Amino acid sequence: MSVELVHVYRGDLVESIHRGDIVLVNHKGEILDAYGDPYKRTFWRSSAKPFQVIPFIEAGGIDRYKITAAELAIMTSSHGGEKRHVTLIKQLLKKMDKTLDDLKCGRARPMYEGAYRQLLQENIPFSQGNNPCSGKHSGMIGYGLLSGLDLDSYTELKHPIQQKMLKTIAEMTDLQSEDIDIAIDGCGVPVFGLPIYNMALAYAQLAGGDFEHPRKEILAIIAGAMTKEPFYVAGTTRLDTILMEETSGRILAKLGAESVYCVSIIGEGIGFAMKTEDGSYRALDAVVPDFLRKHGYISEEEHKRIYKRLPIQIKNHRDEVVGEMRSVLD
């Protein structure tokens, strides 16, 4: 059963409460800490993306297309749709002799409010490049090209690309494919439902460390790209980017829709996953840094710098501070 994670104060009164579930595991699968139900089932959403790029790498995509760290990072991303993101997506697709029109993720408003407002002011329509999943779709197309597959229906579950995605996700989460729930994500491709415990286990493998894993080298490449280029994993004002920047890549973080969140403690073989019950993203800003500090994965100084960049305070329309969010971790 989900537990209280964040209280939202207006003045001295708790006005709202966000509940959720958290689990922390090591690469052996041992639970190190948990709040609520460590086996809560939910959809992994975009937190699965670092593992969905594995087939592209295994097919030789990095060498074939001379992929940079930034390009690999954006393939794992839920980017903000900012100009730099869209430019990089176009650059990546050009290497594959493809364009934005080849992406079947759909047109979407940018996640970053500043980019959204700028497009409205300039009367520029949203494009597939503004879609936060355009990097993932670029990776899927790249894998399809390398494997000689028809791309007309690449988003459908029966397509070999999506079957490869499912197989890879099952392998990385220590599950059988039939144990994974399937639905359709916001960008039109299959999305995977599984316990947050298994999500955390995959992120523990992604963390790397003094242990063996059949994909250890590939996982290190993915983690290295994400922590080297955190802006391309998320973007301006985003928790993922802030955590990776303020810890110099010691923490790897990835958001999923409906407030799924996953973290790797790089070099320690430890990962955690959480789900906010009501799907609220704002709760993540309050609870994730506190959880990391509680377990000694970030310092007090890092915690202060991270919080300084996050919208923890509640403000009114006159920009006056009228409350704040506080995590209630024991």
pLDDT digit string (tens) for 56-77? 999 999 999 999 999 999 999 9
Mean pLDDT of 39-68: 98
Please tell me the predicted confidence (pLDDT) of residue 49.
98
Average pLDDT, whole number, for the chain?
97
Please tell me the predicted confidence (pLDDT) of residue 22.
98
Instruction: Please give the span between the terminal C-alpha atoms of the chain, in angstroms, as a whole number.
Output: 17
Please tell me the predicted confidence (pLDDT) of residue 46.
98
Task: Give the Å distances, CA to CA, from 64 to 75, 134, 189.
Answer: 16, 20, 25
Q: Mind spelling out the 3-state secondary structure of the chain?
A: CCEEEEEEEECCEEEEEEEEEEEEEECCCCEEEEECCCCCEEECHHHHHHHHCHHHHHCCHHHHCCCCHHHHHHHCCCCCCCHHHHHHHHHHHHHCCCCHHHCCCCCCCCCCHHHHHHHHHCCCCCCHHHCCCHHHHHHHHHHHHHCCCCCCCCCCCCCHHHHHHHHHHHHHCCCCHHHCEEEECCCCCEEEEEEHHHHHHHHHHHHCCCCCCCCHHHHHHHHHHHHHCHHHCCCCCCHHHHHHHHCCCCEEEEEECCCEEEEEECCCCEEEEEEECCCCCHHHHHHHHHHHHHCCCCCHHHHHHHHHCCCCEEECCCCCEEEEEEECCC
Mean pLDDT of 197-207: 98
Spatial CA neighbour of 6 closest among 200, 264, 290, 251: 290
Contact 311, 285 (CB under 8 A): yes
At 88, the pLDDT band (50, 70, 90 cuts) reads: very high
- Residues 277-301 pLDDT 10s: 999 999 999 999 999 999 999 999 9
What would the two tokens of residue 29 be? 């699968």
Taken in order of first residue, the domains within the chain and their CATH numbers are: 3-327 (3.40.710)
Contact 175, 202 (CB under 8 A): no
Q: What percent of the chain has pLDDT over 90?
A: 99
Question: Does residue 256 carry a pLDDT above 90?
Answer: yes
Mean pLDDT of 92-107: 98
For residues 263 and 243, what is the distance between their CA atoms, to the nearest angstrom? Answer: 10
Mean pLDDT of 140-160: 98
Question: Does residue 330 carry a pLDDT above 90?
Answer: no
- β-sheet bridge partners, residue 192: 182
Please tell me the predicted confidence (pLDDT) of residue 42.
98
Please tell me the predicted confidence (pLDDT) of residue 136.
98
For residues 311 and 177, what is the distance between their CA atoms, to the nearest angstrom? Answer: 39
Mean pLDDT of 157-186: 98
What would the two tokens of residue 235 be? 């973007």
Spatial CA neighbour of 315 closest among 6, 9, 2, 3: 9
Question: Does residue 255 carry a pLDDT above 90?
Answer: yes
For residues 243 and 303, what is the distance between their CA atoms, to the nearest angstrom? Answer: 9
